[in-house]
A and B are shown apart, each in its own frame.
Chain A
């Protein structure tokens, strides 16, 4: 079983739709949770960064962390064709000295104009 599970998709939605992306994890020591966006043959771009449980909003993006369920989500409102990319969840233990990020395998999103 992978430490972080993420549905690979592809996920195809019409422009303007609300997109929901999710990851589950098994390591209860994870405290820091991130979402990255990666366009084809580019480096990952940090979208959202959250510490512990709770919600965080930034523009059209909302990140949610539920540590009790070991479940994190990213919502994209009013999706645009330019949002078409692979979305990676990532997490780390942080304070324990382990800063390495453990990534999900990525969900490929296609927003149709």
Chain B
């Protein structure tokens, strides 16, 4: 039973480039969450998606960041025109449908902006 998968595991970008982070939820899970962990800080919620819908984006920066979870394929977190402050570990979690809030996390993508 494969867990949450994220790729790439490590991503290096230069300032101004775009970063695309992918997340495939656990089998049977239809809810996806993205969190960011800055160096020496805790995990912060960014966005919550179901298939083809953004449910809660209250933690998402207003500019340069976007997320989608299409009908087919993985969820994508996209960061345009990256800056050094975007360097962090980005984690995806998934949960089953319905009232079960249990969130299972992937291994993360470590983004380094040069």
A43 to B55, CA, bound (A): 23
Are B91 and A103 in contact (CB-based, < 8 A)? no
Are A43 and B101 in contact (CB-based, < 8 A)? no
Are A101 and B99 in contact (CB-based, < 8 A)? no
Is the CB of B43 closer than 8 A to any CB of chain A?
A: yes
Interface size bucket, B side?
A: 20 to 34
Interface segment out of the listed A54-62, A63-71, A91-99? A91-99
Are A49 and B102 in contact (CB-based, < 8 A)? yes
Contacts of B41 in A (CB 8 A): 105
The residue that A103 contacts in the complex, of B43, B58, B104, with Cβ under 8 A, is: B43
Are B91 and A43 in contact (CB-based, < 8 A)? yes
A49 to B100, CA, bound (A): 10
Interface string of B53-77 (1 = CB under 8 A from A): 0011011000000000000000000
Interface of B is mostly: strand
Interface size bucket, A side?
A: 20 to 34
Q: Which of B55, B101, B106 has the most CB of A within 10 A?
A: B101
Interface string of B71-114 (1 = CB under 8 A from A): 00000000000000000010101010001011111111010000
Are A94 and B48 in contact (CB-based, < 8 A)? no
Which A residues lie at the B interface, using CB under 8 A?
32, 34, 36, 41-46, 49, 88, 90, 92, 94-95, 97-106
Which B residues lie at the A interface, using CB under 8 A?
4, 31, 33, 35, 41-45, 48, 55-56, 58-59, 89, 91, 93, 95, 99, 101-108, 110
Closest CB pairs A-B (n = 10):
A100-B45, A43-B105, A105-B42, A103-B43, A43-B107, A44-B105, A103-B42, A32-B101, A43-B108, A94-B101
